[in-house]
Structure 1
Amino acid sequence: MSSVRIGNCSGFYGDRVSAMREMLEGGELDYLTGDYLAELTMLILGRDRMKDPSLGYAKTFLRQVEDTLGLALDKGVKIVANAGGLNPAGLAHALREVNTRLGLNAKIAHVEGDDLVSRADELGLGSPLTANAYLGAWGIVEALSADADVVVTGRVTDASVIVGPAAHHFGWKRDDFDQLAGAVAAGHVIECGTQATGGNYAFFTEIPNLGRPGFPIAEINADGSSVITKHAGTDGEVSVGTVTAQLLYEITGGRYAGPDVTTRIDNAVLTQEGPDRVLISGVTGEAPPPQYKVSLNTLAGFRNEATFIVTGLDIEAKADLAKTQLESWLTKKPAELVWTLARTDHPDSDTEETASALLRCVVRDSDPKVIGRPFSAVAVEMALASYPGFSLTAPPSNGQPYGVFTPGYVDAGSVPHVAVLPDGTRVDIAPSTLTQDLEAVDEPERPEPLPPQSSLSVPLGTIAGARSGDKGGNANVGVWVRTDDQWKWLAHTLTVEMLKELLPEAADLNVTRYQLPHLRAVNFVIEGILGQGVASQARFDPQAKGIGEWLRSRHIDIPISLLPVTDEKEDSR
């Protein structure tokens, strides 16, 4: 049986609205998928649902389908997306209204059961605003088997919207773990959209045209292997590098657990088959764990912030004065008050902006009145009574609610998984009968080290790429190199201790390192660097998107033989 061609048109809620049409018009597809959900998205949708119980889904998806449903039906492309969020039934109802209004005959199905909020307490999950189990692909398979043209789900794993169409196309069984794992790897690569085609890529300057990168496509084969590509004529690039970067995104070690299969990412082998064509092979699978992960979002309180511009001389003294004044002028101190001073200033600068530093104050409290007008008013009242050159980037607001993400785990058998077919029939989807507790992969042996040789102190990114992201309060940083000799150096040099030296913000945190030799990569999980997760805004880079680039910018001694040929001779050792 020939490969199935699955394109993706969304990596998050807010991604390029025109992408669904671009993918349908750009070339041949069998399925078009979209990932609209993230940890923060579930909180946003939860707040939407509080205001209006009929909401809780990705409204942009509804507009996209209204624009392109007729085109998809004409081309025989089926659409699968997790845009249902907290209300897949509501989205399915809205889609049927669009279908009728357009005079079309699309068959609409949805998958539900992931929403556990009404049972959270009895399941030991507390009292969150949202509680959604990560379901797998088999509800999608059931809906496609009933000839659905559009399938929308709630919180399935990001890769499941790709795995479902592949499993349906090839008739895979529940214990075809190698094939399922291969599809998970392909899904993990394309579910973040243009990150697979050059977006957010460390070596972006090597891509000839990154103006408007095309969205990715996975051509999945019956054995689970796949080729990652994109429509001809679109910008960006699909290379071993761009695929490596995305495989490393938001994982831990060699085992990548899901509700249907545990994927051995450490077995993946990448091969450049041609321009914009990368083969993923060698991926194997194991039985999934007996528990499902649950995404929990809780409204934790309210936050506000003020950012002071501090210019010229005596930066530290000016910042200290601002801190002292603001804290002493507040009639009630917030539960949390955190200062950070970003020394973006340069001595003897020829522009005012580059002569300035940014002093940021973030406040949090359970009482919105404490962090609202009283805090904002004090920050403004300091304007004529504080350090010379006082100004704010913008007037502080009245404050906003913030949330906290935490993962939970429940027995798979306690989670309903229901496919609601186009005719309204409800089909219960049982969890896997074969399960295996998740265990860490034995650490692979390091390759033989390079012999001692002369080195230069240069940025790590001179030879290494990186991709970083968030998982709750933790950050993941994957680092890879492109030659075997560079891998020998990286495997021995970039240890946990070296990472903490290069990233002092991680020095007092628990950091775990994983080796992925086939990808010439190491992956680090930095626990707690993001506080209580992206919604809590504990860090100026709350989703850890820039940590990998910060790491690449840090200087480290690299053997001269590993460096690109340049005229640089300084710092030779």
Structure 2
Amino acid sequence: MVLRIANCSGFYGDRLSAAREMVEGGPIDVLTGDWLAELTMLILAGHRLKGRPGYAVTFVRQMEEVLGTCLERGIKIVSNAGGLDPEGCAAAIEKLGLSATVAHVTGDDVTGHDLDLVNLDTGERLAEPVLTANAYLGARPIAAALAAGADVVVTGRVTDAALVTGPGIWRYGWGPGDLDALAGSVVAGHVIECGCQATGGNYSFFREVPDLAHCGFPLVELHEDGSSVVTKHPGTGGLVSVGTVTAQLLYEIGSPRYLGPDVVARFDTIELSQEGPDRVRISGVKGEPPPGTLKVAVNYLAGYRNTMTLMLAGLDLEEKAGIAQEAIWARVPRESFESVDVSFDPPLLRITVMDRDARRAGRAFSSAVVETGLASYPGFYGLTPPGDASPYGVYWPTLIPAADVRPRVFVGGEEVALPSSEQPDPAVEVLVDPVAPRWDGTGAPTVPAPLGRVAGARSGDKGGNANLGVWVRTPEEYGWLARTLTVERLVKLLPSLEGLMVERFELPNLNALNFVVHGLLGRGVAASPRLDPQAKALGEELRARLLEVPETFLR
């Protein structure tokens, strides 16, 4: 018996046709989609302030195309597209008039709770008014809704992996003590949550990926023991390989102990094997009891921001950048703003100001930059016109005791009871952190080469932090990578990390290292002045850096 769970969305704005493609492209049992990046909750809050829906309206549009077919074929639909208004999203689905039993899950909104508001990353305590506060719920409310007969389950903020673990609990009856099975389903959910990133999208070795322009979305065949096979529909573009799955496993993670409300999944126990073309088996995943707290995503409005970008060409670029700034700060003093960030990455000079005063950060700043146009460096021209400031919010991760959060499930408008999630006291295996194999090729001939000729990488954002996963293909290469790519070497290769705290985690089972760079993104994506505010390109920047690489690896 296998449960086929498909993904049709990795973010709010993903391919609209994906739901239809997954329903019509081959047999599936459950259609899922992830809409809620940390930034999305802030976007939806902005929509709600403007009187627009607080849920992902694109999900409703997709349901117009596929809900009838799903009902005919018995395909269940599970999505976190409810955002800040799961009830409103469920009502919109019901208005499609297809006699579907629609459930929605609430309880993640904890704005009325007495939150401690200590930042998980910095230890600071928030003193600003909270705009949104949503706890990451687990999978059991989803399973309860499916068990009560729901055809469609709409949630607010749940963990991304819960969209897969919930149907797994429903089908296989896993209890809170089935830690390994739960952990395996969490890993499967993490792999497919970002859509085409599991099937060759954004893949370092993109030349290996056929027909990327028509990349198929992923699905998992989930088994009762929590093992799974990652695949895609036949006839679609893209690639499912150990490499593409490894890349996604390394995306936006921290420690190998992957915390969640249902289980702690040990990413250092994952075993991957190529079962066939576009089929990768995931097995061996171990689980540990979940913590007694839930993560909470808090957002607050911090003020206004404005960025002006100038292009510098020709000779003496450093001096030209200095002249440009002198001219600008002579018109609007730098110290008049609450925050200023100047980034010079030749040939681009980007200046971002932030302030609680919209006027100060708005035209007063951008017009002053334009006014220097005929009294600045030779070859002056800008890439941004003068404009008003934009409001920005800050993401603030914190914790809440799990016992203080009460998920509620409504099926067809009626509340259903949730089974107990109380943990038994299982005899949990104490897992020893793996040790990297020694590199025994000391003295082997080396040549200077880009790291990317040997290693793949994937990077992303986690609040104000960035993660950077790096992997190679063989244990021998991993032994070299683990010895060579220390934190100190990483910082030398990427000087933008200088002065930041960097953690390194070893994943020999995946031939991979994972680095977490604290504070690289400032106060989070919406507040980051970086040109790459989600650190998506950080891994590719690293792959372009030169290292002494053993010749044998390059062959």
TM-score of the superposed pair, with normalisation by structure 1? 0.92
Q: In structure 1, how many angstroms separate the alpha carbons of the residues matched to 2:283 and 2:467?
A: 24
Give the AA of the match of 1:402. Y
3-state SS, counterpart of residue 244 of structure 1: helix
Identify which range, 443-452 or 272-281, moves more after superposition: 443-452
Is 1:467 aligned to 2:458, yes or no? yes
Aligned twin of 1:390: 380
CA shift for structure 1 position 223? 0.5
**1:117 is matched with which residue: 111, 116, 131?**
111
Q: In structure 2, how many angstroms separate the alpha carbons of the residues matched to 1:425 and 1:184?
A: 27
Aligned twin of 1:346: none
Question: Is the 1:417–1:430 Cα contact (8 Å) retained in structure 2?
Answer: no
CA shift for structure 1 position 121? 5.0
Q: In structure 2, how many angstroms separate the alpha carbons of the residues matched to 1:264 and 1:42?
A: 28
1:171-182 to 2 correspondences below 5 Å: 171-182=173-184
CA shift for structure 1 position 68? 1.6
3-state SS, counterpart of residue 540 of structure 1: coil
Q: In structure 2, how many angstroms separate the alpha carbons of the residues matched to 1:207 and 1:428?
A: 44
Give the AA of the match of 1:233. G
**2:339 is matched with which residue: 336, 339, 351?**
336
Give CA-to-partner distance per residue, 1:385-405, whole Å, 9 cap, x none: 222221111203201011111
**2:100 is matched with which residue: 99, 106, 110?**
106
Is 1:514 aligned to 2:505, yes or no? yes
CA shift for structure 1 position 341? 1.4
Q: In structure 2, how many angstroms separate the alpha carbons of the residues matched to 1:497 and 1:456?
A: 21
Question: Is the 2:294–2:399 Cα contact (8 Å) retained in structure 1?
Answer: yes
Is 1:444 aligned to 2:434, yes or no? yes
Q: In structure 2, how many angstroms separate the alpha carbons of the residues matched to 1:458 and 1:389?
A: 35
1:23-422 to 2 correspondences below 5 Å: 23-52=22-51, 55-98=53-96, 100=97, 104-119=98-113, 121=115, 127-330=129-332, 333-343=336-346, 357-422=347-412
Question: Is the 1:530–1:543 Cα contact (8 Å) retained in structure 2?
Answer: yes
3-state SS, counterpart of residue 234 of structure 1: coil
Identify which range, 139-148 or 203-212, moves more after superposition: 203-212
Give the AA of the match of 1:10. S
Q: In structure 1, how many angstroms separate the alpha carbons of the residues matched to 2:161 and 2:283?
A: 17
CA shift for structure 1 position 195? 0.2
Aligned twin of 2:551: 560
Aligned twin of 2:4: 5
Give CA-to-partner distance per residue, 1:447-505, whole Å, 9 cap, x none: 12223211011000111011111101111111110012111111111111111111111
Q: In structure 2, how many angstroms separate the alpha carbons of the residues matched to 1:531 and 1:441?
A: 34
Give the AA of the match of 1:40. L
1:417-428 to 2 correspondences below 5 Å: 417-428=407-418
Question: Is the 2:342–2:350 Cα contact (8 Å) retained in structure 1?
Answer: yes
3-state SS, counterpart of residue 285 of structure 1: strand
Give CA-to-partner distance per residue, 1:240-275, whole Å, 9 cap, x none: 000001111111122101000000111000000000
Question: Is the 2:164–2:185 Cα contact (8 Å) retained in structure 1?
Answer: yes
CA shift for structure 1 position 88? 0.3
Question: Is the 2:475–2:511 Cα contact (8 Å) retained in structure 1?
Answer: yes
Give the AA of the match of 2:456. G
3-state SS, counterpart of residue 239 of structure 2: coil
CA shift for structure 1 position 33? 0.1
CA shift for structure 1 position 286? 1.0
Give the AA of the match of 1:267. T
Q: In structure 2, how many angstroms separate the alpha carbons of the residues matched to 1:183 and 1:177?
A: 10
3-state SS, counterpart of residue 323 of structure 1: helix
Give CA-to-partner distance per residue, 1:519-573, whole Å, 9 cap, x none: 0111111111111110102211111111011111100001111112xxxxxxxxx
Q: In structure 1, how many angstroms separate the alpha carbons of the residues matched to 2:48 and 2:85?
A: 9
Aligned twin of 2:518: 527
Q: What's the % identity of the aligned pairs?
A: 53
Q: In structure 2, how many angstroms separate the alpha carbons of the residues matched to 1:543 and 1:268?
A: 26
Q: In structure 2, how many angstroms separate the alpha carbons of the residues matched to 1:484 and 1:307?
A: 45
Give the AA of the match of 2:466. A
Question: Is the 1:288–1:434 Cα contact (8 Å) retained in structure 2?
Answer: no
Question: Is the 1:134–1:155 Cα contact (8 Å) retained in structure 2?
Answer: yes
Give CA-to-partner distance per residue, 1:152-174, whole Å, 9 cap, x none: 00000000011111111111112
CA shift for structure 1 position 211? 1.6
Give the AA of the match of 1:335. E
Q: In structure 1, how many angstroms separate the alpha carbons of the residues matched to 2:135 and 2:81?
A: 15
3-state SS, counterpart of residue 67 of structure 2: helix
Alignment gaps of 5+ in structure 2: 119-125
Is 1:547 aligned to 2:538, yes or no? yes
